[in-house]
Amino acid sequence: MKTYTLDACAVLAWIFKETGYNVITDLVNKASDSEISLLMHKVNLLEVYWKVAERQGKLNADKMYENLLTTPIQFLNTHSHQFFSEFTKIRLEYGTAFVDTFVATTNLIHTNNKGTIVTSDPAFKNLQKNKKFHVQFFK
């Protein structure tokens, strides 16, 4: 089964119906039908929570959080030694932002790096240059 690892910007685009949200809607629908798997690290979920609170207040962030937990997105909280090690390697090699490194490491470990990172963040282009990471830009 194909697996996608979501960056915070993908979920934010979906929530706020920003450019490219239809791509994320399609992925969520396919995950609901068990055609694909969707992953997201809880640190990236925290980033979504913060951005919603910043734009719409904490009460709306709380509602959004509860709603997201009912979706087919699997929220992971991996903090194993392997995760720390791979996280550090990626961050040192690619200079990725702290939260972006959670996306890349989650994809690497939980899909055996066979999954696809879904983002609109141009910072991931550096990861894409190395054939080790598969990145889909939704806008």
CATH number of the CATH domain containing 106: 3.40.50.1010
pLDDT of residue 41: 98
pTM: 0.96
pLDDT along the chain (139 residues), means of 10: 97 97 98 98 98 98 98 96 97 95 97 95 89 91
DSSP 92-115: HHH---HHHHHHHHHHHHHTTT-S
Q: pLDDT at position 129, please?
A: 82
Instruction: State the pLDDT at residue 131.
Output: 75
Q: Residue 87 is part of which domain span?
A: 2-137
Number of domains in the chain: 1
**Which pLDDT value is given to residue 113?**
87
